[in-house]
Amino acid sequence: MARGGSVTGGGRVFVVAAGGTGGHLFAGEALAGALMADGHSVHLITDERGEQYAKAFKAGNIHVVRSDTIRGGSPIALLITFLRLGLGFLASLGLMLRIRPDAVIGFGGYPSMPPVFAAWFSRIPTAIHEQNAVMGRANRLLSRFVRAIAASFPDAAYLDGKVRAKMTVTGNPVRQHVIDAVKPYKAPEADGPLRLVVFGGSQGARIMSDVVPGALAGLEEESLKNRLQVVQQCREEDLVRVEAIYRNAGIAAELDAFFTGLPALLSDAHLVISRSGASSVAELAVLGRPSILVPLKHSLDQDQKANAGLLVEPGGAVMIVQDEFTPAHLSTIVTELLRDPVRLSHMAASAKNAGHADAASRLKDFALRLL
């Protein structure tokens, strides 16, 4: 198959395959930004869910194909899933003929499977990027077929020796507006405001709305509670009740279902309370912000718990497992941290040391080496 770019010069044509959640799309978006800055063309192949996160891609370069998630269930359900993936594969084959990419890089999630398999079938160079400390199931299936694997963690689980030989550690790339928001951490001053940011990842988290407002309203030290300035991401259906809790407690709070300028808000925070998805952890590390991380209890293979280790082990974060994430326990942890600005500063420095601000550049070089 003829390729989109020449070997000796001119911009190359790349396909990013990702979908499902913002975590996969954000890493792909970071690579796309680095490649486009060098004059290359990047197309995105995703599913209907992933399309909502694809704001940074040119409208004509976004292609939605059929996909589904392989789950346990009845034979009929599995048959429907494989039928949808098969239709996605056929649609992706057509896109390979039309786009004629030089290389295809998958970023995980089952929506990445049809495009990557179509590229492999068409003998186009392929690679995958794994954002998590535990390799996802779609990437595990693809790992034996692709030419190379980029990883965020040096010890990604579920990689055997043969597959591990393909691996290059690049870190998890963050988007340019995260890099633009980086600034030194300033610990809270005595009697000054205490800025907290609370979010649950790209899809939000009901548990944050259930636990955090009650925990902050229940702070025993009025001097701490009166200084709080909270920014919290909530699901639409939770906004009214969360706002009422903060209002009744006299806590200043800004609430929304989605903050487009979240990196800047994180950069202004003294403390962050968050899930520990791969993108969230990577952004907190690059920004260098102390955090309380609550891994998703039912995540496959406990990948969020493993992700949290990147910040917890060096002392940049405190982890609370979901079964212990109660208003009373969280209130105790928040009080301990906000009382101790020196500890917050040490946590911020430790988080910063764990970050890879150059991960997008590393991943760009990795993608170009595929050629």
Tokens, residue 24: 């996969």
* % the chain with pLDDT above 90: 74
Let me know the angle formed at the C-alpha of 49 by 173 and 93, rounded to the nearest 5 degrees: 85
Cβ neighbours, 10 Å, residue 328: 10
pLDDT at 9 over 60: no
* Edge-to-edge order in the sheet of strand 148-151: 62-64, 41-46, 13-17, 103-106, 126-130, 148-151, 167-169
Query: What is the phi/psi pair of residue 208, to 5°?
Result: -65, -40
User: What pLDDT score was predicted for residue 217?
Assistant: 98
pLDDT averaged over every residue in the chain: 90
- Asked whether this chain's domains 13-173+357-369 and 179-353 adopt the same fold, the reply is yes
Domain ranges of the chain: 13-173+357-369, 179-353
Q: Who has greater pLDDT, 355 or 7?
A: 355
The CATH architecture one would assign to domain 13-173+357-369 is 3-Layer(aba) Sandwich (3.40)
Interatomic CA distance for residues 92 and 118, integer angstroms: 6
Query: What is the phi/psi pair of residue 300, to 5°?
Result: -60, 130
User: What pLDDT score was predicted for residue 225?
Assistant: 96
Interatomic CA distance for residues 15 and 103, integer angstroms: 6
Q: How far apart are the first and last CA of the chain?
A: 14
Furthest-apart CA pair in the chain: how many Å? Answer: 69
Confidence of residue 85 (pLDDT cuts 50, 70, 90): confident
Instruction: Say which range, 20-29, 169-178, 257-266, 316-325, has the weakest mean pLDDT.
Output: 20-29
Tokens, residue 89: 């594969």
pLDDT at 301 over 80: no
pLDDT at 147 over 60: yes
Q: Who has greater pLDDT, 174 or 160?
A: 174
* % the chain with pLDDT above 70: 90
User: What pLDDT score was predicted for residue 7?
Assistant: 37
User: What pLDDT score was predicted for residue 6?
Assistant: 39
Query: 105 - beta bridge partners?
Result: 16, 127
pLDDT at 20 over 80: no
pLDDT at 242 over 60: yes
- Provide the residue type at 353 as one letter: N
User: What pLDDT score was predicted for residue 162?
Assistant: 81
Instruction: Say which range, 117-121, 130-134, 283-287, has the weakest mean pLDDT.
Output: 130-134
pLDDT at 4 over 70: no
Q: Are strands 62-64 and 252-256 parallel, antiparallel or unpaired?
A: unpaired
The average pLDDT across 58-64 equals 84
- CATH fold of the domain at 179-353: Rossmann fold (3.40.50)
User: What pLDDT score was predicted for residue 76?
Assistant: 77
Confidence of residue 159 (pLDDT cuts 50, 70, 90): low
